[in-house]
């Protein structure tokens, strides 16, 4: 069972905006930055959002991150078929002195 809670699945149609949530507590999301990773089928995860809302070089601005209290959100606008992937959130957790992950959300583009 993952420390951070994500919905197991999400879906949208091309062009739509989709939001994926990540819920934690005061020892992880509530006091530390959140990171998001995109994992395309049969590939390694790739950093998508850094420190709550920073996009690494090369990540389209269709992807955005936000945080409020002990929850974080990944928004994908202008959904494309190539966005179909698993999305994972992570944050440092002070209570375990290590990073913790969500269980991942499988995004389907209908």
Partner 1 sequence: QVQLVQSGAEVKKPGSSMKVSCTASGGTFSIYVVNWVRQAPGQGLEWMGAILPMYGTTNYAQKFQGRITLTADESTGTAYMEMSTLRFEDTAIYYCARGGFDFWSPPQGDWGQGTLVTVSS
Q: Which residues bind partner 1 (CB under 8 A)?
A: 2, 33, 35, 37, 44-47, 50, 88, 90-92, 96-104
**Nearest-angstrom CA–CA distance, 37 and 40:** 10
User: Is 70 or 77 the residue whose CB approaches partner 1 more closely?
Assistant: 70
Q: How far is CA 78 from the centre of its chain?
A: 17
How many alpha carbons fall within 13 Å on the CB side of residue 96?
10
- Please report how close the Cβ of residue 83 comes to partner 1 at its closest, in angstroms: 19
**42, 48, 72 from 75: Cα distances, Å:** 23, 11, 10
- Please report how close the Cβ of residue 14 comes to partner 1 at its closest, in angstroms: 27
**Nearest-angstrom CA–CA distance, 39 and 103:** 12
User: Is 14 or 56 the residue whose CB approaches partner 1 more closely?
Assistant: 56
- Please report how close the Cβ of residue 96 comes to partner 1 at its closest, in angstroms: 7
User: Is 16 or 94 the residue whose CB approaches partner 1 more closely?
Assistant: 94
- Please report how close the Cβ of residue 103 comes to partner 1 at its closest, in angstroms: 4
Per the listing, tokens 């069972």 go with: 1
């Amino acid at each position: 069972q993952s420390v951070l809670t994500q919905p197991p699945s999400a879906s949208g149609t091309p062009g739509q905006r989709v939001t994926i949530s990540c819920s934690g507590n005061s020892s992880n999301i509530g006091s530390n930055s959140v990171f998001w990773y995109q994992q395309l089928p049969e590939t390694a995860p790739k950093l998508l959002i850094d420190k709550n809302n920073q996009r690494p070089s090369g990540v389209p601005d269709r992807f955005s991150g936000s945080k409020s209290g002990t929850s974080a959100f990944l928004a994908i606008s202008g959904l494309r078929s190539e966005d179909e992937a698993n999305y994972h959130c992570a944050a440092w957790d002070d209570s375990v002195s290590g990073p913790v992950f969500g269980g991942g959300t499988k995004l389907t583009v209908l």
